[in-house]
Amino acid sequence: DADVTQTPRNRITKTGKRIMLECSQTKGHDRMYWYRQDPGLGLRLIYYSFDVKDINKGEISDGYSVSRQAQAKFSLSLESAIPNQTALYFCATSDLSLAGDEQFFGPGTRLTVL
């Protein structure tokens, strides 16, 4: 079974719609992240949470919001989707180890906004 799961895996929506992407993990990690990936731009951090009561903006948080419902769940919302939010979205978790802040990624959600 996957340690980090994302739902949905694919979503096509229209401009102006509200969208929620969900992430769940069974790794027991405190830290969770949301990234988007666009061709030529790499992984860009949207929001991150170091524990249930901690939420921080990343480099591209405008147009997005998040909710950390529990240690295991971190949701990303697009309140009013726009076409330039079309991208591949990854959730990740981490916990400090000998390797540092190694991140474990979910399978990704491909979002298309028409």
Partner 1 sequence: QKEVEQNSGPLSVPEGAIASLNCTYSDRGSQSFFWYRQYSGKSPELIMFIYSNGDKEDGRFTAQLNKASQYVSLLIRDSQPSDSATYLCADDPGGYQKVTFGIGTKLQVIP
Could you say whether residue 100 binds partner 1 (CB under 8 A)?
A: yes
Binding span for partner 1 by CB under 8 A among 9-17, 18-26, 34-42, 65-73: 34-42
Please report how close the Cβ of residue 75 comes to partner 1 at its closest, in angstroms.
18
Q: Where are the beta strands (DSSP E) in the chain?
A: 4-7, 10-13, 19-25, 31-38, 42-51, 54-57, 65-70, 73-78, 87-94, 103-105, 109-113
**Binders of partner 1: how many residues, by CB under 8 A?**
23
Nearer to partner 1, 23 or 113 (CB): 23
Residue 103 binding partner 1, by CB under 8 A? yes
Based on the shown chain and the rule CB under 8 A, indicate whether residue 102 belongs to the binding site for partner 1: yes
CA distance 44 to 50: 17
Q: Does 55 bind partner 1 (CB under 8 A)?
A: no
Neighbours of 98 (CB within 10 A): 5
Does 111 bind partner 1 (CB under 8 A)? Our answer is no
Q: Six-digit token pair at 106? A: 């979910």
Phi and psi at residue 63, to the nearest 5°:
90, 0
Q: Cβ closer to partner 1: 82 or 96?
A: 96
